[in-house]
Amino acid sequence: MSSKRIAIIGAGIAGLSAALDLLKAGHQVTL
């Protein structure tokens, strides 16, 4: 899978959890 740049709007529990999973998958995440 190719790395993607992802922005997460709203850093609540769900947003932080999603960011962590995406980072572990090798994507670049911005909160």
Tell me the per-residue pLDDT of 1-31, one tens digit each, with 9 for 90 and over: 688 999 999 879 999 999 999 999 999 999 9
Domain count for the chain: 1
- Closest among 9, 8, 3 to 19, alpha carbons compared: 8
Instruction: With beta carbons less than 8 A apart as the criterion, state whether 29 and 3 touch.
Output: no
Instruction: Return d(Cα 22, Cα 18) in angstroms, integer.
Output: 6
Domain span at residue 2 reads 1-31
Instruction: Return d(Cα 3, Cα 16) in angstroms, integer.
Output: 19
Instruction: Return d(Cα 1, Cα 13) in angstroms, integer.
Output: 26
Instruction: Return d(Cα 3, Cα 12) in angstroms, integer.
Output: 24
pTM for the model stands at 0.77
